[in-house]
Amino acid sequence: MATSAWKVSRRMALATLVAAVPTAAGSAPPPDWAAIPAQTVTLFYPGQASYEWLRSPAHKRANAKVQAGEACVSCHEGEEAEIGGTIVKGGRLEPAPIAAKAGAIALKVQAAHDDTNLYLRFQWQTQMARAGQMHDYLMYDGEKWVFIGGPRSKEAVRSGAQPPLYEDRLSLMIDDGKVPLFASQGCWLTCHTGMRDMAGEPTKEQVQAHPLIGQVHKESDVRKYLPSTRTDAAASWDKTRPAEEIARLKEAGAFVDLMQWRGHRSNPVGMADDGYVLDYRLADAGKGPFTWNVDRKTMTPKFMFDAAKVGAKALALEDVGNASKPYALIREDNAVAYDPAAGWKKGDVLPGRLLSRADASGSAADNADVRGAWVDGQWTVLWTRKLDTGHAADDKALKPGSVVNVGFAVHDDNVTTRFHHVSFPLTLGIGTQGTLSSVALE
Ligand code: HEC
């Protein structure tokens, strides 16, 4: 298809829209998204279908082909909803199903770009009848602060003892062709036995004792990693390559860019986080939009709401889901230092996370214009990302005329880890043909 077919005139569209104000340097999202072609990507529930499972005889008659690098869609094209619908109900790939969870999500994607930015618009229906924008809340129990609620996979939430409380998320992975097999097997390269909530999880002590994951990264559980950073064919979590070899892979760009828009931890400050996957799921250099609002020594909050600005120093549990109440603590906006003598009452609730756009910096703060709005059961997320962030050490640069591999995931209805919905890998053509194509604005 000729490139011109992907072009939409911004000037023409602008003429019809009074309120459109171009941002600095003349770059701005499409004033009329209706003029940008939309494509629907089916995200499906993968359960514990890990890198290792896909290469095992349990993945009948497909394991050898997967090992040889064959693309998932060469056998599974169009089967997303069917696979998700089967796994989500429980069985060999989902030992702990969540009742009534949907097997698939239709994610509507639109893309446009100019000389400076890529503009993405995502839309999807949520299963819950409210925005998932509460996360890591603390409640005063009359004597001390305790975490309340959590993801639906948590025992206390399954039993009804605690409320489901976990942010919605939209994740985006980008590979520019430098990660072997990503184009054909996408997200499944990053998902392994031994990870949080996967089969074969090691103990916290085992992870903490590991020379790289525990001692260098200071982690106590296993998260996403690429097989190229491991020494054995099974890509075991603990068989890591020497640090110098991993550093060389990073320099060569053999990592996956991973960005997450988060309903609680980034959206209230108009951002998404910015990370990458290599030997672990790591954050980009600098400072992202969120930290803890908990002093771990005293187990007390560090900040509370500024009553002069939001009407109260804390929330109540009944306020969860009430759109007229504040739900996130923003350092520069609605927070003041926690006062232990403020007369705390049983049932007072404060976010256990502190957000700040003002404090975010460096490569970790690249996604500084990402805004989601939840209306009538649907999220619409508008995402602006620089084509080239200038941070080649942990980001992928996008060039007009090029095609990159992408993968999407949505965490919907109070879930974390494997309880999400994912896409098979797709291509995104920047002003050129791909599974998805970005329209050049002019
Ligand atoms: C050569 C063809 C082929 C390739 C390539 C392939 N699969 Fe499969 N896959 C199959 C077949 C056939 C089955 C059904 C066999 C079974 O149920 O055990 C299956 C089953 C599955 C299942 C289980 C579905 C269920 O209902 O329980 C999942 C999940 C899956 N594949 C994911 C993938 C992913 C992800 C990839 C890419 C990394 C992939 N497959 C690549 C052929 C393939």
The pLDDT tens digits of the residues spanning 248-294 come to: 999 999 999 999 999 999 999 999 999 999 999 999 999 999 999 99
* Cα 88 to ligand 1 centre (Å): 15
Residue 442 pLDDT: 82
- Span 397-416, mean pLDDT? 98
CB within 6 Å of ligand 1 — which residues? 46, 49, 54, 59-62, 65-66, 70, 72, 74-76, 83, 86-87, 93, 185, 188
Identify the helix (H) or strand (E) that includes residue 210.
none
CA distance 120 to 24: 19
Residue 199 has pLDDT above 60, yes or no: yes
- Span 53-80, mean pLDDT? 97
Nearest CA to ligand 1 atom 34: 72
* Cα 438 to ligand 1 centre (Å): 30
Strands, E assignment, 72-198: 104-113, 117-125, 137-140, 145-148, 169-175
Q: Ligand 1 atom closest to Cα of 185? A: 38
Residue 24 has pLDDT above 50, yes or no: no
Instruction: Specify the residue for token string 């925005």.
Output: 131
Instruction: Specify the residue for token string 């926690």.
Output: 338
Residue 9 pLDDT: 45
Domain ranges in the chain?
3-133+168-289+357-440
**3-class SS of residue 97:** coil
At 211-252, the pLDDT tens digits run: 999 999 999 999 999 999 999 999 999 999 999 999 999 999
At 3-22, the pLDDT tens digits run: 344 454 444 333 333 333 34
From the options 3.30.70.270, 2.60.40.1190, 3.40.50.2300, 3.40.630.10, give the CATH code of 3-133+168-289+357-440: 2.60.40.1190
* Cα 76 to ligand 1 centre (Å): 7
φ, ψ dihedrals at 207, nearest 5°: -70, -45
Residue 27 pLDDT: 87
At 321-344, the pLDDT tens digits run: 888 899 999 999 999 999 999 999
pTM value is 0.94
Q: Centre a 10 Å sphere on the Cβ of residue 7 and count the other Cβ atoms it contains.
A: 14
- Span 76-104, mean pLDDT? 98
* Cα 127 to ligand 1 centre (Å): 26
